[in-house]
């Protein structure tokens, strides 16, 4: 097994475990729609369910459409990430870690869809009446992974531009 594969398995696996354990704790200890203030007027643990995707996209679509759509979309995304990972240079550690984070998050939310038919969300950030949509560990890892890929791409683009300038 290559170092790259081992890295992805460890990171994605850890994310899946942390995501599922945190969600299970919320499901077992906090009734649906109940909230516990962690940082008053800023951060609450709130047991919510999201039948849609990010920002509740397609949450009100019929179940017969929504369920297969999200299962297929997740499957396609996972396959695309695995192909991207296969082509990624092992030396580009940030890319490998970012892909692993996105994979772990996607699989964590997929497990929820298979178990509950929806995703368990519980992290709720708000400020002066403005609320960010509730999210979970998997969502956080997907976001951080995307940021990592963007950062890596920008660094690569800048390095490529500098090489082109110095060659001319």
Residue 43: per-residue pLDDT = 97
* Residue 45 · residue 36 · CB < 8 Å: yes
Residue 151: per-residue pLDDT = 96
Predicted TM-score (pTM) above 0.75: yes
List the catalytic residue out of 19, 89, 112, 139: 139
Length of the chain: 168
List the catalytic residue out of 19, 89, 112, 121: 121
Give dist(CA 109, CA 22) in Å, integer: 12
For this structure, is 121 an active site residue? yes
Q: Report which of 136, 139, 141 is spatially closest to residue 48, judged by C-alpha positions.
A: 136
109-125 tens-digit pLDDT: 999 999 999 999 999 99
Residue 130: per-residue pLDDT = 94
Give dist(CA 78, CA 82) in Å, integer: 6
* pLDDT, averaged across the chain: 93
Give dist(CA 77, CA 70) in Å, integer: 10
Answer whether residue 55 shows pLDDT above 80.
no
Give dist(CA 51, CA 49) in Å, integer: 6
**∠ CA 133-15-77, rounded to 5°:** 70
Q: Is the dihedral of CA 16, 19, 22, 26 positive or negative?
A: negative
Instruction: Tell me the average pLDDT across 24-45.
Output: 97
Residue 53: per-residue pLDDT = 82
Q: What is the DSSP letter of 11?
A: H
56-70 tens-digit pLDDT: 778 888 889 988 999
Residue 54: per-residue pLDDT = 78
Answer whether residue 165 shows pLDDT above 80.
no
Instruction: Tell me the average pLDDT across 73-83.
Output: 95
Give dist(CA 98, CA 63) in Å, integer: 31
Instruction: Tell me the average pLDDT across 128-155.
Output: 96
* Residue 136 · residue 122 · CB < 8 Å: yes
* pLDDT above 90 as % of the chain: 79
Give dist(CA 53, CA 50) in Å, integer: 7
């Amino acid at each position: 097994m290559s170092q790259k594969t081992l890295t992805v398995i460890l990171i994605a696996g850890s994310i899946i475990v942390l995501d599922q354990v945190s969600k299970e704790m919320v499901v077992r200890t906090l009734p649906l729609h109940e909230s516990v203030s962690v940082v008053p007027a800023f951060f609450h643990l709130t047991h919510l369910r999201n039948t849609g995707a990010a920002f509740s996209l397609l949450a009100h679509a019929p179940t017969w459409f929504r369920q297969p759509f999200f299962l297929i979309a997740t499957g396609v995304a996972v396959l695309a990430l695995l192909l991207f990972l296969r082509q990624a240079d092992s030396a580009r550690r940030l890319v490998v870690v970012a892909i692993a984070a996105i994979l772990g998050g996607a699989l964590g939310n997929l497990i929820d869809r298979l178990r509950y038919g929806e995703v368990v969300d519980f992290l709720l950030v708000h400020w002066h009446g403005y609320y960010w949509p509730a999210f979970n560990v998997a969502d956080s890892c997907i976001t951080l992974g995307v940021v990592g890929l963007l950062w890596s791409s920008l660094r690569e683009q800048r390095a490529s531009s500098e090489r082109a300038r110095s060659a001319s």
